[in-house]
Structure formats: structure tokens, C-alpha cells
Amino acid sequence: MIKDERYLTVKKFLLSGDITEFEDIFRHCPKSVFRDDLKTNSKTMDKLIEKPYKFKLYQLHFLSELIGVDRKIIVDLAWKNYDKELKDNHVNDLREYIYENLRR
């Protein structure tokens, strides 16, 4: 598989710790590159970037392979975003929050 050279830039920033949020990835490599490799449309990709915890695990694994980093790095970035959203929304009852917000 021929990888876009911009994935190497993302890899360098991830490994150096310069990328700390999931959406930071797309400042260094356009979402259209990832969208095409994931074979998804723009609207779906926008939703996934906004709420990366909605990515399926195999998609996060594939992203990590494209970038060339351990999949745990990408999963941790998505998880960090999820934790932040729970904290920002003062979630006390996780089941209720999931039912109301994540099932859409």
C-alpha cells in the first residue's frame, strides 16, 4: 500500500508529543486523505473527527497502520476526547448519557 507522505509528518508529531488531541492530526494531514483511505464520505468523516470515540476499533487500527504508529496511541487520543466530553458535560450517569447522546 502506497502511503501519503503526510502520514510520516503526523507520525513524527505523534511520537514527539506535539499532537495531544485527536483533531490535531488533521492540522498536518487533510481529512480528505484519511477519508479516502477509510473509504467514507465527508459528512461521516466530519462527525468522526468531532467525536473520535465514535470510530470503530478497526478504523482506529487502520489509521494507526496508515500513520505507522502503535494502535494504542490512536486509541488513547480517541479515548482522551471521550473523557473530555464526559467531563465537559458533567456526566454522572453514563448509561443515560450514552442512551441520549451516543446512539444517534
> For residue 94, is pLDDT > 90?
no
Q: What angle, 0 to 180 degrees and rounded to 10, lies between the N-to-C axes of helices 42-50 and 31-38? A: 110
Q: What is the percentage of the chain residues whose pLDDT exceeds 70?
A: 85
Whether the Cβ atoms of residue 25 and residue 52 lie closer than 8 Å to each other: no
- pTM of structure: 0.78
Alpha-carbon distance of 44 to 47, in angstroms, equals 5
Q: Which has the higher per-residue pLDDT, 71 or 89? A: 71
List, for residues 10-54, the tens digit of each pLDDT value.
Answer: 999 999 999 999 999 999 999 999 999 999 999 999 999 988 988
Q: What is the pLDDT of residue 39?
A: 93
pLDDT band per the 50, 70, 90 thresholds, residue 86 = confident
What residues contact 4, with CB distance under 8 A and at least 6 apart?
29, 33, 37
The residue extents of the domains of the chain are: 6-102
